[in-house]
């Protein structure tokens, strides 16, 4: 009886110790390190300067004077410069007759170039890869793009592959979340994520303003990333995933339809962006921060905010510029990697989180140099930070993204060592930031706004 009493006394302690040990082991197995990443830079003959951009606009016979004026205003205010790139078929004047071969050629150029560099510079061979994830929102082929990669590099027959479509600009973080989940059951594994977008077959050739906006913002780009959960490779890691929060507002009809692939009234397919986008972004960003903030900010800042605001009630804004008001995000985060989807979103997030021009510079420069490269945009922003030697060991990076659906996926990274690779920015980083972000369209094509042209037909 005495032995039984001792056992009953010790059992709760032993059980608690067991649960604690299991929790520690599980936490150790949840690490996700990024070892390397490679962003895509298109050939110079794909560069979309002012003259080429104007030529593409003027050869669309569906456009009239009012559409030209709208495009001029949009392009001038877009925050995009003359260094962006567009698909080969658009440069060649075949935007209204793109074929499947055009789409596959575009994917092959982006995916294989970045993967070739990734394997070469990381020292990891294709046969060592355990997990492969590709996210391209606007293209789904049979066989899948992942199968295309497996065939090209003759990868192992037990590789786990996932092909993500329709996820929008935040697809990179969704793919990384999938990697994180898979790492829980695959030990000491390598995972590759490829993020890009199919632009060539999805160039809008109609005249609906809500569709034309995508032509002004989206450009060619892509990125391949290498991850591992092998702790013995920690010394090689660039950054480590600390936490990730995903939020979905698809149940809200207005938010669901603010970024929508469909056809216009005349049957031209395209991607519609509505005026409700910023409102949806504010609503979902607010919901996401309620979960994310306690995970990324120090306790002292949380207590201060609760005292000042008397709870989380202030996080109810429907304006992007007001989201996060009252919180000091810099108390626990050194860098902000905002998806370069457009100037309005970057500026709105910056105002809401009380970020300085220095904090917003990487996102603004990525938008100016590369345009909106969809899910790959984060890594051009990260590349800018690295090329400018901003990232020091122990720094925290917050990634902020919005995507069609409507989704908000944010995460926090920790820098594992001082980073200074000039990467895809190598040939131009010394010229950034430029003295002015003024778009030359105003100077060269400002005559479109001349009122006398109302009596003239432009050819």
Residue-wise pLDDT for 233-254, tens only, equals 999 999 999 999 999 999 999 9
> At a CB cut-off of 8 Å and minimum separation 6, what does 170 contact?
339, 375, 401, 402, 403, 407, 408, 409
Contact (Cβ atoms closer than 8 angstroms) between residue 211 and residue 264: yes
> At a CB cut-off of 8 Å and minimum separation 6, what does 171 contact?
135, 137, 164, 195, 374, 375, 403
| pLDDT per position as a tens digit, 132-190 | 999 999 999 999 999 999 999 999 999 999 999 999 899 999 999 999 999 999 999 99
Contact (Cβ atoms closer than 8 angstroms) between residue 272 and residue 259: yes
> At a CB cut-off of 8 Å and minimum separation 6, what does 6 contact?
none
Residue 15, pLDDT score: 61
- pLDDT above 90: residue 10: no
Ranges assigned E (strand) in 249-324: 259-263, 269-273
Mean pLDDT in residue range 425-448: 80
Judged on CB neighbours under 10 Å (0-12, 13-18, 19+), 6 is exposed
Contact (Cβ atoms closer than 8 angstroms) between residue 375 and residue 386: no
Give the residue, 451 or 206, on which the prediction is more confident.
206
| pLDDT per position as a tens digit, 394-426 | 999 999 999 998 999 999 999 999 999 999 999
Both structure tokens of 225: 């990333």
Parallel, antiparallel, or unpaired: how do β-strands 396-403 and 335-338 relate?
parallel
Which of these, 137, 85, 369, 140, lies nearest to 259 by C-alpha position?
A: 137
H helix intervals, 335-395: 343-352, 357-370, 377-387
- pLDDT above 50: residue 457: no
CA atoms within a 13 Å half-sphere pointing along the CA-CB vector of 118: 28
337 vs 385: CA distance, rounded Å: 9
Q: What is the mean pLDDT of the chain?
A: 88
- Alpha carbon separation from 302 to 39, 277, 286, 308 (Å, rounded): 36, 29, 16, 10
Both structure tokens of 53: 């951009």
| pLDDT per position as a tens digit, 272-313 | 888 888 889 999 999 999 999 999 999 998 888 887 776 555
- Write down the residue that tokens 């993204």 correspond to: 401
Return the bridge partners of 394, or none: none
Contact (Cβ atoms closer than 8 angstroms) between residue 39 and residue 380: yes
Q: What is the pTM of this model?
A: 0.90
CA atoms within a 13 Å half-sphere pointing along the CA-CB vector of 282: 22
Mean pLDDT in residue range 333-344: 94
Scored b (16 or more CB within 10 A) or e, 148-173 reads bbbeebebeeebbbbbbbebbbbbbb
- Write down the residue that tokens 């559409």 correspond to: 67
Residue 326, pLDDT score: 81
SS3 188: coil
Residue 315, pLDDT score: 54
- pLDDT above 50: residue 455: no
C-alpha angle 183-187-192 in degrees, rounded to nearest 5: 50
Q: Give the chain's radius of gyration (CA, Å).
A: 24
Both structure tokens of 267: 């049957």
Give the residue, 58 or 226, on which the prediction is more confident.
226
Which phi and psi (to 5°) does residue 277 adopt?
A: -60, -50
pLDDT band of 325, cuts 50, 70, 90: confident
């Amino acid at each position: 009886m005495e032995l039984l009493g001792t056992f009953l006394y010790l059992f709760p302690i032993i059980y608690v110790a067991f649960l604690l040990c299991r929790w520690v082991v599980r936490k150790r197995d949840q690490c996700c390190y990024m070892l390397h990443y490679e962003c895509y830079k298109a050939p110079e003959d794909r560069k979309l300067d002012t003259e080429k951009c104007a030529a593409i606009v003027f050869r669309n016979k569906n456009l009239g004077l009012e559409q030209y004026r709208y495009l001029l205003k949009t392009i001038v205010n877009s925050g995009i410069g003359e260094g962006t790139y567009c698909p080969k078929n658009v440069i060649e004047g075949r935007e209204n007759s793109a074929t499947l071969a055009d789409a596959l050629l575009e994917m092959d150029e982006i995916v294989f170039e970045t993967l070739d560099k990734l394997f070469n510079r990381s020292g990891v061979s294709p046969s060592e890869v355990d997990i492969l994830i590709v996210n391209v929102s606007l293209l789904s082929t049979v066989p899948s793009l992942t199968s295309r990669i497996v065939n090209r590099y003759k990868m192992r027959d037990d590789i786990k592959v996932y092909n993500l479509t329709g996820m929008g600009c935040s697809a990179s973080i969704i793919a990384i979340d999938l990697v994180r989940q898979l790492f829980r059951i695959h030990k000491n594994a390598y995972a590759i994520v490829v993020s890009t977008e199919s632009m060539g077959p999805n160039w809008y050739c109609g005249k609906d303003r809500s569709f034309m906006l995508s032509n002004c913002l989206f450009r060619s780009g892509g990125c391949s990333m290498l991850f591992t959960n092998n702790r013995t490779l920690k010394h090689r890691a660039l950054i480590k995933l600390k936490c990730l929060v995903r939020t979905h507002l698809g149940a809200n009809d207005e938010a669901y339809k603010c970024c929508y692939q469909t056809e216009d009234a005349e049957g031209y397919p395209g991607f519609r962006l509505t005026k409700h986008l910023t409102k949806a972004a504010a609503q979902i960003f607010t919901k996401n921060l309620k979960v994310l903030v306690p995970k990324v900010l120090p306790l002292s800042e949380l207590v201060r905010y609760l005292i000042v605001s008397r709870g989380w009630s202030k996080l109810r804004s429907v304006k992007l510029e007001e989201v996060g008001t009252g919180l000091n995000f810099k108390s626990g985060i050194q860098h902000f990697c905002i998806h370069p989807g457009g100037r309005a979103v970057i500026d709105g997030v910056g105002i809401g989180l009380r970020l300085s021009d220095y904090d917003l510079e990487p996102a603004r420069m990525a938008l100016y140099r590369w345009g909106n490269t969809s899910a790959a945009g984060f890594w051009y922003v990260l590349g800018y930070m690295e090329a400018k030697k901003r990232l020091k060991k122990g720094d925290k990076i917050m990634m902020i993204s919005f995507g069609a659906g409507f989704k908000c996926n944010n995460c926090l990274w920790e820098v594992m060592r001082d980073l200074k690779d000039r990467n895809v920015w190598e040939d131009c980083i010394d010229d950034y930031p430029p003295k002015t972000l003024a778009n030359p369209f105003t100077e060269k094509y400002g005559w479109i706004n001349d009122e006398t042209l109302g009596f003239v037909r432009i050819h």
